[in-house]
A and B are shown apart, each in its own frame.
Chain A
Amino acid sequence: MEINMHKKLLEIKNLHVSFFTPAGEVKAVGGIDYDLYSGEVMGIVGESGSGKSVEAYAIMGLLQSPGRVTGGSIKFEGRDVLAFTSKEQQSFRGNEVSMIFQNPMTCLNPVYTIGNQLIEAVCCHDVIPKNQAEARAIEMLTLVGINNPEQRMKQYPHELSGGMRQRVMIAMGLVCDPKILIADEPTTALDVTIQAQIIELMKEIQKLTGMAIIFITHNLGVVAEICDKVSVMYAGKIVEQGCVEDIFYKPKHPYTLGLLKSMPRVDEEQHERLIPIEGTPVDMLNPPPGCPFGPRCGFCMKICLRQEPPQIEVGDCHTAACWLLVDDAEKEAADAQ
């Protein structure tokens, strides 16, 4: 499948998001770029605090004070998302892009039935009679593999199990037939067997509808299973980006390599000692100068602690931001200055 044949849906350029806290400015997202094409599943991997969710919230226009987009652009099919009026944004959310969240219990309203909430989502975006909205809701519940959808429509969120609730969330996300689904750690709160069910379901739905998915997770195993392209984030920056095979078999950034080496694998033949990434995550209030990963990196050079590395193209749609990939790092840095 040649990705260039698909339509470019989302174009993010040099996006900056900051939180202005009493303790100072936290640059949660510090200049990220990526494109999303239709029918693509893009994984965004990173540890807690790497800015992977914040970036998704920025796309959806869900950033809350004190968070603010401080620079860059987000374009959806050529239209500037950041310049949307609140009305445009409302129709953009749901119709074009929808989002499902990590914890399905906190995202569903406990005092309304599942049916009520699904119908509300339909009616918000389409002016259609209620019985049609209901039919649409039932159709969606069937699509996400819920038995007796008519019955379930009358139930409240607490009557469903965690896996069921996540299915309902997915149904709600799909109800207006969006072009992009942003899934923010959709399986993290679930057990492995349920996680497997949800991943299978998302794969099926993706094939069926052809929509693009941005899959945010910290679990590289899940990424290996579902994603076509992967962006690895660290301290608000994309440190490496490429297709799934490149990231797993030809990682270029020491952080990606470190993540892959530090994970125990269930299929390891013999007990091998894990190779951890030393040190602690970055303090986002006082990030180190230069490469954010520098202080923890085993290959750290002098320049890494002084100046931020550029994005280097290392293959077809494969980029990494690391000074190691620059032949003459000192010269490059001097030129950049």
Chain B
Amino acid sequence: MPSNELLRVEHLKKYFPIKTGLLKHKYVQAVEDVNLFINRGETLGLVGESGCGKTTLGRAILRLHEPTAGKIIYDGVDITHEKMLPYRRKMQIIFQDPSASLDPRMTVGEIVGEAIDIHRLADNKSDRTKRVQQLLIQVGLNSEHSNRYPHEFSGGQQQRIGIARALAVEPEFIVCDEPVSALDVSIQSQIVNMLEDMQSEMGLTYLFIAHDLSVVKHISNRIGVMYLGNMVELGKSNEVYRHALHPYTQTLLSAVPIPDPRVSRDRKRIVLQGDIPSPMNPPSGCRFHTRCPYAIPRCTEEVPEWRELAPEHYAACHIL
């Protein structure tokens, strides 16, 4: 269904150069050859451990990082080399740390209103004020809050301000980069519910990045699992949970703590040995082979191909 597709990413790569000597250059291969698509109105979840490139991928899609190679196609247009300003109205981002992503010297009204000014969305000053107030109410804050500064709010409220800012330009697509990771459990669920409500009311499309598999599985229609810059598995969230194909997904799932003592003490857990290798010199072949319990010699030599192994269920692994 090509008309239904909002975003397509093809063979996206993002390398960060690091200087190691006078003339020597090394690269951190943060994102390596990722393919994905997102349909209109759906939520694609991205999970993986720290350093797996999920945030970099999210930012590269918005071209907050210029991709090293690959293509980003938004609504049928290749935007990899386009001017981004008109697309910033359609594509927005919510950041992880709400206190770090809000300017402490700007009032909430200025923060939320800035995008309205840049894109000239308000006809006059009173229209702008009205819009800002509406946005604040929409995210569960008070319209009087627009004159206050970010530090006067709690973490959950700050995240609401961040969301109001993203909504200010009436976007179609939002990258949610760990929007609830910094929040307390009781506040997390408030934000998750709000994101879900906004999606059903405004038909938003999300790329939801988080390391907490329970949250990602809860909110997403489909889940992509990343390991060391590679996408290792992608599929419908229930499919990925019930029939995880890739060994890494299986271990990740078994490592998630379940708040239920009987279930969590009975289940068998695959405990991975060792740590994540450095993305500066990733292992040859399949990047997971150094920790994979099923690794065969072929895994060390050959990069596994990204294949559709079941309907709409992709994975990259030799043993499948």
Contact = CB atoms under 8 A, between A and B. Distances in A.
Please tell me the size bucket of the interface on A. 35 or more
A164 to B, nearest CB: 7
Contacts of B256: 192, 221, 266
Interface string A168-196: 00000000000000000000000111111
B271 interface: yes
Contacts of B255: 192-193, 195-196
B184 A276 contact: no
B156 interface: yes
Interface stretch (B106-114, B161-169, B212-220): B212-220
Interface in B152-192: 154, 156-157, 184-190, 192
Interface residues of B, number: 43
A224 B218 contact: no
A219 B185 CA distance: 8
Given A218-B185, A265-B259, A274 B50 contact: no
Interface string B257-286: 111111111000101100110000000000
B193 interface: yes
Contacts, number: 132
A195 B308 CA distance: 31
A44 to B, nearest CB: 14
Interface in A189-228: 191-197, 199-200, 218-225
B49 interface: yes
A336 B41 CA distance: 57
A12 interface: no
Contact of A196 (B217, B218, B265, B271): B271
Given A191-B49, A266-B217, A280 B157 contact: yes
B259 A277 contact: no
A222 B257 contact: yes
B252 interface: yes
A278 B213 contact: no
A84 to B, nearest CB: 34
A219 B187 CA distance: 14
Contacts of A191: 49-50, 211, 276
A331 interface: no
A224 B186 contact: no
Interface of A: 47-48, 161, 163-164, 191-197, 199-200, 218-225, 244-245, 248, 258-260, 262-268, 271, 273-278, 280-281
